């Protein structure tokens, strides 16, 4: 009789533990480390290891214009920082100037990705989501920002062309023009900034560093 009573408690206890875990996961994100590196320089190398040096150089060039900081992975639109990278911050900051003045932007991280874009591309490209029953969490940690954007830029179907091939052919301006509707500060969009005009030079420097790194 006593053993049957204990057996009856197993189900409710398991359900309670599952609920507590789910609540903790929902409120605090998953329990793994979420790296937010601080660098001694602006436009630092990627946290992600490996990959096509041309795409890597392009990613660093995008971030030079979008998140030119020594702590780019936790940067919000407008310059604030966040401490929690367990998921996309989803903080909407009011835009104070430019063509979108008065609206707000959730752009965040090294590539200033807005929340709707992150939750559209992360399910497709994120290499290590946390799953619990019917829910999934896509960590916004530095290495995952890199990995998702790298795979996104490498997807020929998304951009209608092979970006890596264009870069190998020296057609950087064509690439920047094609990406400008997504990242509007690349020189061909609606929100150029003080860095935009220098992007070709920045890209060449990044590319040389990335090519040199492959030789080491």
pLDDT tens-digit readout, 160-180:
999 999 999 999 999 999 999
Q: According to the model, what pLDDT value does residue 51 have?
A: 97
- Residues 152-167, mean pLDDT to the nearest whole number: 98
Q: According to the model, what pLDDT value does residue 4 have?
A: 56
d(CA 144, CA 129): 10
Q: According to the model, what pLDDT value does residue 216 have?
A: 75
Residues whose CB is less than 8 angstroms from the CB of residue 192 and which lie 6 or more positions away in sequence, other chains included: 184, 185
Query: Could you give phi then psi for residue 175, rounded to 5 degrees?
Result: -65, -45
- Burial tier of 101 (Cβ tally within 10 Å: 0-12, 13-18, 19+): exposed
pLDDT of 3 above 60: no
Return the number of other C-beta atoms located less than 10 Å from residue 188's C-beta: 17
The pLDDT-based confidence of 7 (bands split at 50, 70, 90) is low
Which residue reads 């204990």 in tokens?
A: 6
Least confident of 134-138, 165-169, 198-202: 134-138
Residue 186 near residue 179 (C-beta atoms within 8 A): yes
Q: According to the model, what pLDDT value does residue 25 have?
A: 46
**Distance (Å) of CA 79 to CA 40, 51, 71, 202, 207:** 18, 29, 10, 21, 27
- Residues 182-192, mean pLDDT to the nearest whole number: 93
pLDDT of 76 above 90: yes
Residue 49 near residue 157 (C-beta atoms within 8 A): no
Q: According to the model, what pLDDT value does residue 199 have?
A: 98
Token representation of residue 178: 């094609």
Q: According to the model, what pLDDT value does residue 8 have?
A: 58
Positive or negative CA dihedral for 103, 108, 111, 113? Answer: negative
- Tell me what percent of the residues of the chain surpass a pLDDT of 90: 74
Q: Which of 116, 81, 198 is nearest to 206 (CA)?
A: 198
Positive or negative CA dihedral for 26, 27, 32, 38? Answer: positive
Q: Which of 1, 72, 77 is nearest to 37 (CA)?
A: 72
- Residues 81-104, mean pLDDT to the nearest whole number: 94
pLDDT of 15 above 80: no
pLDDT of 13 above 80: no
Longest dimension (CA), the chain: 80
Q: What is the 3-state secondary structure (H, E, C) of 72-123?
A: HHHEECCCCECCCCCCCCCCCEECCCCCCCCCEECCECCCCECHHHHHHHHH
pLDDT tens-digit readout, 16-71:
545 544 544 444 444 444 578 989 888 999 999 999 999 999 999 999 999 999 99
The pLDDT-based confidence of 12 (bands split at 50, 70, 90) is low
Q: According to the model, what pLDDT value does residue 133 have?
A: 83
Structural domains of the chain in order of their starting residue, each with its CATH number:
35-215 (1.10.530.10)
Question: What rounded mean pLDDT belongs to the chain?
Answer: 88
């Amino acid at each position: 009789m006593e053993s049957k009573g204990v057996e009856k408690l197993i189900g409710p206890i398991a359900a309670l533990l599952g609920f507590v875990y789910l609540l903790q996961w929902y409120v605090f994100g998953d329990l793994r480390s979420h790296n937010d590196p601080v660098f001694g320089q602006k436009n630092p190398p990627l946290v992600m290891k490996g990959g096509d040096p041309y795409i890597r150089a392009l990613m660093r060039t995008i971030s030079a214009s979008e998140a030119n900081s020594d702590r780019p992975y936790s940067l919000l639109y407008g310059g604030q920082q966040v401490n929690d990278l367990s998921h996309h911050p989803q903080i909407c900051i009011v835009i104070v100037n430019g063509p979108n003045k008065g609206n707000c932007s959730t752009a965040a991280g090294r590539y200033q990705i807005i929340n709707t874009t992150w939750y559209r591309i992360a399910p497709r490209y994120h290499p290590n989501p946390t799953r619990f029953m019917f829910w999934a969490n896509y960590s916004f940690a530095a290495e995952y920002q890199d990995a998702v954007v790298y795979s996104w830029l490498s997807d020929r179907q998304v951009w209608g062309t092979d970006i890596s091939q264009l870069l190998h052919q020296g057609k950087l301006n064509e690439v920047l023009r094609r990406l400008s509707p997504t990242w509007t500060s690349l020189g061909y969009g609606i929100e150029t900034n003080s860095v935009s005009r220098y992007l070709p030079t920045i890209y060449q420097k990044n590319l040389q560093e990335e090519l040199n790194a492959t030789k080491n």
